[in-house]
Amino acid sequence: MAGKSRVKTGSELFWTATMWRNWVSMKDSPLRCDFPETDLEQQLVKKRYLTHGARLASPPARKVAGVSDSSKEMDYGVACISERFMDIRTTFLSFRRSIPVIVSMFMIIALAVGWVVSLLYSKALLGVLLAFSPVWVAAYLFEFLFPYTLPVRIDRQEGFVYVGHRGTFYRIPWDELEVTFSYNWQYLGSGVVWERQYYSHLFMREKHYFCGKPPKMPLQRKKISSGFKEGDMYRKWNFIVRYYNEGVVEEDEENLYGANFDSYNQHVKGQTGRRVFGNVLFLLFMPSIVWSKYSPFKYRWPKEIENIFGEFDYY
């Protein structure tokens, strides 16, 4: 009857109680890294999207104990690497890079299903093309026409980190680089906790302003990484610290050759078949790698920074 709430079953009550216990457990448990707590987020003028349990990873920049610093499976987060400097893709850049892959895989599956169905209904494949091709085209046009934001550039030779943020460019001494680890909760439905999401943030202070638009606030932050696996956040940071301290090691050439279009073609130089096959895969699944080299629609480092490094715009 209207006005009466449905009585929950035993299994529903058990599931709700389990989720509540998990939420309380996650809420109270700290991050696994043994770093000091910090209130850097509380110093922000605009306190939006604040996270919890922040720990200070730098300064001084140090690795998380017991976590790998290997570059294996890190090519998604690296735009360019050399002995002089490394460009790190931020969270948004890594997400943008994955969009064409997801759309292309969906289209391939849809076309395969359409082809199978077309064996019974001759116009099924045409229907799939008409229904989903605009999505495919739109995803590619979006990648081509809308520029990526700039990466974070780590200059290990001179000991600086270059960061662009809404037209303002900072040059932060490595020994003064402020990086935090923290987390937040993601929710599904009516207040049901889904999972923790982990963040690493880089903080930019007005005193480190280098060029571009003057800073509007004394302290701002930029998201370096984000994900649902705490260990992945630590692995990326450990890799960054290891690179700064040791430079490019032997495994990096094999693990990071897919970071950009030029590094891939250099790696497979002399292997015509592999080179052609790889370029076709890039065009189908990761066109941003090709377009990041040739597209005129992209942000560029300001002249003050290009005068230091030259023109390197792989992102």
- The Cα–Cα gap between 38 and 56 comes to 6
What is the pLDDT at residue 261? Answer: 67
What is the pLDDT at residue 31? Answer: 82
Ordered mean pLDDT values, 10 residues apiece, the chain (315 residues): 52 51 54 90 86 92 92 80 88 65 73 70 66 72 71 93 93 96 74 74 96 93 88 92 91 76 72 78 72 72 90 67
What is the pLDDT at residue 176? Answer: 96
Please, are residues 80 and 252 in contact by the beta-carbon 8 Å criterion?
A: no
Q: Which of 223, 199, 225, 220 is nearest to 46 (CA)?
A: 220
DSSP E strands in 177-276: the ranges are 178-188, 192-205, 209-212, 219-227
Q: Which residues contact 110 (CB under 8 A, 6 or more apart)?
A: 128, 132
- The Cα–Cα gap between 200 and 94 comes to 14
Q: Which of 221, 244, 239 is nearest to 174 (CA)?
A: 244
The per-residue pLDDT for range 136-189, each reduced to its tens digit, is 777 777 766 766 778 899 999 999 999 998 889 999 999 999 999 999 887 655
What is the pLDDT at residue 183? Answer: 92
In the three-class reduction of DSSP (H, G, I as helix; E, B as strand; rest coil), residue 172 is classed as strand
What is the pLDDT at residue 194? Answer: 62
In the three-class reduction of DSSP (H, G, I as helix; E, B as strand; rest coil), residue 183 is classed as strand
Calculate the dihedral angle through the C-alpha atoms of 221, 79, 155, 255, rounding to the nearest 10 degrees.
Answer: 120
What is the pLDDT at residue 1? Answer: 47
Please, are residues 260 and 282 in contact by the beta-carbon 8 Å criterion?
A: no
DSSP state of 214: P
What is the pLDDT at residue 314? Answer: 60
Please, are residues 299 and 247 in contact by the beta-carbon 8 Å criterion?
A: no
What is the pLDDT at residue 155? Answer: 96
What is the pLDDT at residue 24? Answer: 47
Q: Which of 221, 231, 236 is nearest to 51 (CA)?
A: 221
Cα–Cα distances (Å) from 41 to 45, 46, 297, in that order, read 9, 9, 34
Cα–Cα distances (Å) from 191 to 17, 53, 62, 89, 188, in that order, read 13, 20, 37, 33, 7
If you compute the radius of gyration of the chain from its CA atoms, what whole number of angstroms results? 23
What is the pLDDT at residue 29? Answer: 66
What is the pLDDT at residue 25? Answer: 47
What is the pLDDT at residue 58? Answer: 92
